[in-house]
Structure 1
Amino acid sequence: MNFRKYSVLILILSLFNIYAQENQLIKANEDFERFAYVDARKIYQKVAKNGYSSPDLYQKLGDSYYFNGELEEAVKWYESLVNEYEDEIEAEYLFRYAQSLKSAKRYVEADKVMEKFYMQTGNDQRANSFMTTRDYLKFIDMQSGKFQLLKLSVNSEHSDYAPSFNHHGDLIFASSRNSRNMTKTVHEWNEMPFLDLFYSKMNIDGDLSPPKKIRGGINTRFHESSSTFSKDGKTMYFTRNNFTKRKVKMDSTGTILLKIYKAKLKGSQWTDIEELPFNGEEYSVAHPALSADGTKLYFASDMPGSRGQSDIYEIDIYEDGSFGVPRNLGDQINTEGRETFPYISDSGVLYFSSDGHTGLGGLDVFVAVQEDGYFSLPYNVGRPINSPEDDFSFVVNETTRMGYFSSNRNGGKGNDDIYSFKQTEELITKCKQFIKGTVTDKETRERMGDAAVILLDENNDEITRTLTNEDGEYSLDVECNKSYILQAKQIAYAPTETVFTTNSSLGEENEYPLELERGGLEEKEVEEGNDLAAVLELEVIYFDLDKANIRPDAEVELQKIIEALREYPRLRINVRSHTDSRGKDKYNMMLSEKRAQSTVNYIIEQGGISSERVSGKGYGETELLNKCSNGIKCSKEEHQKNRRSEFIIIR
């Protein structure tokens, strides 16, 4: 055998194999750039099986699963990518790897990868969110269990998702199921037929009828999904591939993008279909959600100015049917990842799906409430709505507390399934923390039941109060990033208080033990005609000479009167104001009337006490406490004792 010829033959065959693999990769890359992940995946897998490897190969194999919602399958390829080429990859692949690990419930490993992601990116919102919510699983556990999942009969073996309500409360959804025994064009992204819009009527028992296609010109041979309806049911907004007037359009890379369309109901047919003016030819606009009053439309898009792979926007709808300018919902809501499938409830609460905010893996559903015209930080809605897989297109009827969402979680009937739920508890929509502790006798160390524990803000305004249980224990909810005053009170004990400030950690629990020491005011029996000032052992409330305004030292004492009126809602008082003998009798009577009214007004206005419970009268110099009447020489201090107010208990 000619060894040289044999060697050349091997070399030629080897080169042929390399060229063949490279040609396969070129074909795969073309498919990948058109988002034809399944077609490309087969080619990439053959190349990888033949021992060929590169960062690009692993990235695109991982992405082919990641962007089809098969995150657990993506782990293998991202793992190879990170292990073999960590120094050559973009930080974004660390994020995708972490998300995929979460879908496999490998949370400890996912957190370590997110730490690397944070170190490489620094100012990435997703990384910062993770670092400030390291106990996110604890919060998700707290949020979980507020929904009960119910059986749903409308799912098929294909993809069913994007549920919505029409004005009758019927279920409208997108499905790739076959209809009339005819197979709709198979979409090369995931080898599923293209989506159509279906409806399923709900009967009086809450059961859904067999699904039927929406009537009219809505459905085409391309994708239709994600619908929303006006309150009168006559207008529908929906998502469709860029297919208008029987012509399909592609962007500059050859990809058919998404647009939002509007349709009108005429009889039983949807017609007059037109695309919205803020759609684009080089970006997608999708998943519309209409506000209850019909004046705002929310949607997802990757239009110029978007922060991430898709952001949530809102746009005004004017009375004449025209539209304003799209507004990005900003950094509170949008991240560098995917924010999509918005839903706005009748009360203005925003629900959406995201893989940029910290969650269980894949897309998770989040909730954000409106505060002063802006949306708050979003909160994960927890299990069972969210899972390690993709969970999205959440809608809820706030009156019935019934709703739907979609997921590709394990155990479903098809690729994506619709799940029904009933909400059983309110969601946490503010950053909450918890304080707890015991109230004890400082001397005996015994726990004290029925002690009042009062939470005040930094301005000393009461927020809430509770009583300790028989074991002397209390617990209260508090907001994050706020300063508080915590007081404890009990009969025959001096009050005590502590000051604290909460941080930004969701669900954090802190303990504040409180000790009470004997020596406080005793509980006293009172009756009509008693002076409440004497009962409460107030300092005498004095007025300056010829003045009727409340002095700063008097305010402290009046606050005690106010607190007593708050504590005992049936208590009524008559304020009696007195002057000294200096000045004319008629003038002093008028001055005392002003002082009485000034005191009454302070109690009503500053204390929020009903005017029916507080009256007042001036007595001038008719009820002096000492000898200092007209013509008697007295010191300033002696005269001042006569300038006073009394608080007489009345029926």
Structure 2
Amino acid sequence: MKTVFKYLLFAIVVGSTSISFAQQGKIKSVENDYRDFAYVKTSEVLLEVANKGYKSVDLFQKLANSYYFRNEMEDAAKWYGELVALNEVIDPEYYFRYALALKGIKDYKKSDIWMKKFYELKPNDMRGKAFMSMVDYREAIEELSREDVEPINLEINTEVSDFGTTEYENSIVFASSRGGGRKYRWNNQPYLDLFSVEKTDNGFGEVKEIQGKVNTKYHESSAIFSPNGKYMFFTRNNFIDLKYKEDEGGINRLQLYRATLSEDGTWDEIHSVHFNSKDYSVAHPALNLLGNKLYFASDMPGTFGQSDIFVVDVKEDGTLGEPENLGPSINTEGQESFPFLNTDGDLYFSSNGYPGLGGFDVFKSEDLDAKVRAGSNRNFPIENVGKPVNSPFDDFAYYENLVTKRVYFSSNREGGKGSDDIYTFEIPECDQIVSGTVLDKDTDELLPNSTVVLFDGEGNELERLTVGPDATFQFSLDCETEYLIRGELEAFISDEKRFTTPERKQELLLQLLLDRDEQEVEPCDDLAKILDIPIIYFDFDKSNIRYDAEIELQKVLAVLNKYPTMTIDIRSHTDCRGTETYNENLSERRAQSTKKYLIDNGIAEDRLTAKGYGEYRLVNDCGCEPTNQSSCSEADHQLNRRSEFIITGINGKTCPEK
């Protein structure tokens, strides 16, 4: 049904050819089969023509498409390669399909080349834009992938198509071609029906058809059940009341139907939803937890690409409102399909419009349903769910139960039993490990005996420990949870890190960098450097204390009050502008102004000395010789207009004159 839906959503135009009339006649003989999606027969005839050496755009397009639409990507890539090698003007969509076919055979490097070519020809296409915004998409997908999970191919799979799982009571419901009967020309398999199978302690019981009037001689798939279990929405060909309807092109589209649970446990009272049409397809329903929003895929008017995800209100009686497109942050010019909402309101869907590992990849948009219900601006960030769900093949119909931690998805990947198989795995328990080291911020030295405290996101203490000689710590945490870790040590300013653990198990590494709060000082030390006290600046040609300088002098004052035996020498400097004599006098006034400020604020005069050095101790090359004047900015000159503080004595120790 994946492929049925995938290729009924857009028309395939058969163009003219330039090969001989005889070979052209062979192609014409299968055009009806081609239009009817009977690609098995089409490819056989077209391959015979191509193998005789005939070449044309029309021939290679049809042949490549026949393999592409059957997911035989090795042959599709071969013939798309022959097509582009003709160097003819073709629809850029063929470059996009060629890129996807190359992904299907894991030739990602070559695929990227043709995606860039596609973008160059269609720079406004969202698929190309998405690729160019994440050319390193494979690395990003690897980071999101899980190596601790190995999907299991369900024992109920057969050699024909089985896909699209949902849970109902103690059973799973899925679509399958196992029912026998008339065969669908597209893949020479029986038409799809809906089946259910009960889960047991040892696996599954006997597979049975859904009871009631749901299954017909045409396709049925993609069932979803209302929270109260009274209604089932499902996909079927446009066939109801024994009437089979086609559009003007002779295509029978897909539609959504609603069934009601009867007292005898069968599904009856089949109703077509009001926005179905013979002119477009509507398929693959998904309900949110409350059952008041139905998500589905369609190519109805207003679609951005070949199929989009839509949402519609569900009324109390099970009827539906008017559909609304989820917008361009979800939908592209490609195909978006198979939506699913978990109980947290996260949307999962399949797409070939975003960078991925293969044809259809599964993507996720967190908390989308809440945003839709709140009427947000429809900006829905998405991410690729990575391996093991996604592969170089088509991966779709994702379903998860967050209570049992059970995931189901469908894929046509290598190693399966049939064309499409159902896979499952259990989401591993997610335990995070956070570890790290406590270091001195300035020296990077280890700080043993530090205390490390773990808090939750609201600041409640959860755990504390004292680090050993290696200054390392480690905590076990929950996934997708906010935490705060703080490092503490006497004589140091604490450091803390706030973070949220990811949803996948991984080890987080942190460094807690503690800033020294107290440092041993000695005579001759530069007080500004030791205690990180900025230089005191003055305005040009001024000696009065600026407001910002006063703030810094308050720090000097606090230090002198804390260490009563400390004496300091205040050294004031100017820039080179002005005469030497003028600058000496200016710097002297500044030094004395600084000294007076400290004395006025309670520091004994005998603890302070002050001297102006004029322009003789510049800190840069901004002298006033003609060769230097033009290269120095006002900011450069400001660095020379400063006051410094040198410790001349403390605790009976003195500094030699320097």
CA–CA distance in structure 2, aligned partners of residues 514 and 164 of structure 1: 47
1:388 correspondence with 2:384: no
1:67 correspondence with 2:69: yes
CA–CA distance in structure 2, aligned partners of residues 298 and 27 of structure 1: 41
- Secondary structure at 1:30 match in 2: helix
1:139 correspondence with 2:140: yes
CA–CA distance in structure 2, aligned partners of residues 63 and 72 of structure 1: 12
CA–CA distance in structure 1, aligned partners of residues 466 and 85 of structure 2: 56
Q: Which segments of 5 or more consecutive residues in structure 1 lack a partner in the other structure?
A: 1-14, 429-434, 456-460, 477-484, 499-508, 523-552, 554-636, 639-651
2:415 corresponds to which of 384, 388, 411: 411
Using a 3 Å threshold, how does the CA distance of structure 1 residues 437 and 56 change in structure 2: closer, same or farther?
farther
Q: Is the 8 A contact 2:153 2:423 kept in 1?
A: yes
Q: Is the 8 A contact 2:231 2:318 kept in 1?
A: no
- Secondary structure at 1:201 match in 2: strand
Q: Give the equivalent residue in structure 1 for 2:90.
A: 89
- Secondary structure at 1:366 match in 2: strand
Using a 3 Å threshold, how does the CA distance of structure 1 residues 97 and 426 change in structure 2: closer, same or farther?
farther
Structure 2 length-normalised TM: 0.65
Aligned residue pairs, count = 482
Q: Give the equivalent residue in structure 2 for 1:420.
A: 424
2:211 corresponds to which of 212, 215, 227: 215
What's the offset of the Cα at 1:287?
0.7
Q: Is the 8 A contact 2:247 2:279 kept in 1?
A: yes
1:158 corresponds to which of 153, 157, 160: 160
- Secondary structure at 1:202 match in 2: strand
CA–CA distance in structure 2, aligned partners of residues 46 and 131 of structure 1: 38
Q: Is the 8 A contact 1:126 1:356 kept in 2?
A: yes
- Matching of residues 429-440 of structure 1 within 5 Å: 440=439
Q: Give the equivalent residue in structure 1 for 2:328.
A: 331
Q: Is the 8 A contact 2:158 2:418 kept in 1?
A: yes
What's the offset of the Cα at 1:399?
0.6
Q: Is the 8 A contact 1:150 1:422 kept in 2?
A: no
Question: Which amino acid is the alignment partner of residue 518 of structure 1?
Answer: R
1:400 correspondence with 2:404: yes
- Matching of residues 438-453 of structure 1 within 5 Å: 440-441=439-440, 444-448=443-447
Over the matched positions of the two proteins, sequence identity in percent amounts to 43
Structure 1 length-normalised TM: 0.66
1:313 correspondence with 2:315: no
Cα deviations by residue, 1:342-375 (Å, 9 ceiling, x for unpaired): 1111221111111112111011111111266147
Cα deviations by residue, 1:240-259 (Å, 9 ceiling, x for unpaired): 11111112111111111100
CA–CA distance in structure 1, aligned partners of residues 125 and 449 of structure 2: 50
Q: Give the equivalent residue in structure 2 for 1:518.
A: 516
1:240 correspondence with 2:242: no
Q: Is the 8 A contact 1:441 1:515 kept in 2?
A: yes
CA–CA distance in structure 2, aligned partners of residues 454 and 412 of structure 1: 50
What's the offset of the Cα at 1:236?
1.0
What's the offset of the Cα at 1:395?
0.9
Cα deviations by residue, 1:531-557 (Å, 9 ceiling, x for unpaired): xxxxxxxxxxxxxxxxxxxxxx9xxxx
2:222 corresponds to which of 226, 230, 234: 226
1:361 correspondence with 2:363: no
- Matching of residues 284-299 of structure 1 within 5 Å: 284-299=281-296
Q: Is the 8 A contact 1:495 1:520 kept in 2?
A: no
Cα deviations by residue, 1:7-53 (Å, 9 ceiling, x for unpaired): xxxxxxxx999222112222333322332222322222122122221
CA–CA distance in structure 2, aligned partners of residues 123 and 473 of structure 1: 51
What's the offset of the Cα at 1:451?
6.4
- Matching of residues 203-602 of structure 1 within 5 Å: 203=200, 205=201, 207-266=203-262, 267-370=264-367, 373-374=371-372, 376-424=380-428, 440-441=439-440, 444-448=443-447, 490-494=489-493, 518-520=516-518
- Secondary structure at 2:151 match in 1: strand
CA–CA distance in structure 1, aligned partners of residues 310 and 465 of structure 2: 46
CA–CA distance in structure 2, aligned partners of residues 468 and 239 of structure 1: 61
Q: Give the equivalent residue in structure 1 for 2:32.
A: 30
Q: Is the 8 A contact 1:381 1:427 kept in 2?
A: no
CA–CA distance in structure 1, aligned partners of residues 99 and 18 of structure 2: 38
Using a 3 Å threshold, how does the CA distance of structure 1 residues 451 and 312 change in structure 2: closer, same or farther?
farther
Using a 3 Å threshold, how does the CA distance of structure 1 residues 439 and 79 change in structure 2: closer, same or farther?
farther
1:199 corresponds to which of 188, 196, 199: 196
CA–CA distance in structure 2, aligned partners of residues 88 and 96 of structure 1: 16
Using a 3 Å threshold, how does the CA distance of structure 1 residues 294 and 33 change in structure 2: closer, same or farther?
same
Q: Is the 8 A contact 1:225 1:238 kept in 2?
A: yes
CA–CA distance in structure 2, aligned partners of residues 150 and 343 of structure 1: 21
Q: Give the equivalent residue in structure 1 for 2:57.
A: 55
Q: Give the equivalent residue in structure 1 for 2:42.
A: 40
Using a 3 Å threshold, how does the CA distance of structure 1 residues 468 and 350 change in structure 2: closer, same or farther?
farther
What's the offset of the Cα at 1:384?
1.2
- Secondary structure at 2:425 match in 1: strand
CA–CA distance in structure 1, aligned partners of residues 150 and 129 of structure 2: 32
Q: Is the 8 A contact 2:102 2:108 kept in 1?
A: yes
Question: Which amino acid is the alignment partner of residue 26 of structure 1?
Answer: K
Using a 3 Å threshold, how does the CA distance of structure 1 residues 350 and 450 change in structure 2: closer, same or farther?
farther
Q: Is the 8 A contact 1:491 1:521 kept in 2?
A: no
Question: Which amino acid is the alignment partner of residue 447 of structure 1?
Answer: L
Question: Which amino acid is the alignment partner of residue 309 of structure 2?
Answer: I
Q: Is the 8 A contact 2:252 2:278 kept in 1?
A: no
2:80 corresponds to which of 61, 71, 78: 78
CA–CA distance in structure 2, aligned partners of residues 421 and 54 of structure 1: 46
Question: Which amino acid is the alignment partner of residue 72 of structure 1?
Answer: E
Cα deviations by residue, 1:554-589 (Å, 9 ceiling, x for unpaired): xxxxxxxxxxxxxxxxxxxxxxxxxxxxxxxxxxxx
What's the offset of the Cα at 1:197?
0.9
Question: Which amino acid is the alignment partner of residue 124 of structure 1?
Answer: D
Using a 3 Å threshold, how does the CA distance of structure 1 residues 235 and 495 change in structure 2: closer, same or farther?
closer
Q: Is the 8 A contact 1:439 1:468 kept in 2?
A: no
Using a 3 Å threshold, how does the CA distance of structure 1 residues 510 and 230 change in structure 2: closer, same or farther?
closer
Using a 3 Å threshold, how does the CA distance of structure 1 residues 104 and 196 change in structure 2: closer, same or farther?
same
- Secondary structure at 1:216 match in 2: coil
What's the offset of the Cα at 1:153?
1.4
